Structure 1
Amino acid sequence: MNYLTDFDVIFTIVERGKGETIIKATHEAGAEGATLFFGRGTGIHEHRKILGIPIEPEKEIVITLIEKEKSDAILEAIVRAGKLDEPGRGRAFVISVDKMVGAFHLEQKGQAG
C-alpha cells in the first residue's frame, strides 16, 4: 500500500459560528479542504452563567490536513482570520502526520511515498 507522507493536520477550535471563516481563510491560503464539527468546552476566559447555572460554550472544531510546506502559511491565515492572537478567541495547533491514505488526487500527482 502506498502512504502519503509529509503532511500536517491543523486543529482549530473557535466559538460557534466562526468555523466557516476559518475554512475560507485556509482555502485562500492553499488548503484543499477541511472538516468542521461541533463541540463544547470552556477556557479560562469563559465563565458564563444563566440564572446562576454555568454554561458550557459551544465550539466549532476545524480539521485541516495539509502538505507540510503549506503549514506555516495556513496557520498564519487561521490566526489572522480567527483573531487567535487575542485572548479568548480560540486555539490552533499543528500535529505531524506520519502516514495518510485516501487522498487519491494527491496520489495521482505522484506524492505517494
Structure 2
Amino acid sequence: MMEEKMEDRNKIKTELIVVIVEKDMSGEVIDAAKQGGADGATVMYGRGSGIHENARFFGITIEPEKEIVLILVDAAIRNAVLCSIQKKIEIDRPGMGIAFVLDVAKVIGSPHLNLMSDITD
C-alpha cells in the first residue's frame, strides 16, 4: 500500500513558477496565483539591475527593490496560474516584471501538494 502511494506521488510533475516584480506587487501576484489554482506562495526580496532601472538621485544611483514570488504547483495547473498572473498584473508589459517556470525534481514537506517522494534516490 505504501509503495503504491509513493509510486503515484512520483508520477506527479511539479514545477516552480518564479515571478519577479517591483516592490509592493507581490500581493497582487499571490492573489492572481490563487485565482489560477495555486495554494499559496513564498515572497523573497532582492534588487534589480536591468538596463531601464537605474535611476539617479543627487548623483547617487538608486537600485530598485524587487519582490520574488515562488509558487510551487502541479504542472497541470501551471498555465492557468501564469494566465491569471498575466491578466491581473499585465506582466508582459515592459517594466512590469518577469515570470518563468522551472522543473522541480523532488518535493518533500509540502502538505498542499502531497508530493512527498522517496528521498533515498
Q: TM over 0.5, yes or no? A: yes
Please report how far the alpha carbon of residue 47 of structure 1 lies from its aligned counterpart in structure 2 after TM superposition: 2.2
Please report how far the alpha carbon of residue 81 of structure 1 lies from its aligned counterpart in structure 2 after TM superposition: 2.0
Look up the equivalent residue of 2:13 and give its one-letter code.
D
Alignment partners' CA distance in 2, 1:55 and 1:73: 36
Indicate conservation of the 8 Å contact 2:14/2:104, yes or no. Answer: yes
1:82-97 aligned at under 5 Å gives the runs 82-97=89-104
Number of paired residues? 110
**TM-score, scaled relative to structure 2:** 0.82
Alignment partners' CA distance in 2, 1:106 and 1:70: 12
Structure 1 segments unaligned to the other structure (5+ residues): none
Alignment partners' CA distance in 1, 2:95 and 2:33: 21
1:36-47 aligned at under 5 Å gives the runs 36-47=43-54
Look up the equivalent residue of 1:24 and give its one-letter code.
D
**TM-score, scaled relative to structure 1:** 0.87
Q: Point out the structure with max Rg over C-alpha.
A: 2
List, as ranges, runs of 4+ consecutive aligned residues in structure 1 with deviation greater than 6 Å.
none
1:1-113 aligned at under 5 Å gives the runs 2=6, 5-107=12-114
**Identical-residue share of aligned pairs (%):** 40
Larger RCO (alpha carbons 8 Å, 6+ apart): 1
Q: Which moved more, 1:92-101 or 1:73-82?
A: 73-82
Please report how far the alpha carbon of residue 37 of structure 1 lies from its aligned counterpart in structure 2 after TM superposition: 1.4
Structure 2 segments unaligned to the other structure (5+ residues): none
1:71 to 1:42, Cα distance in 2 relative to 1, 3 A: same
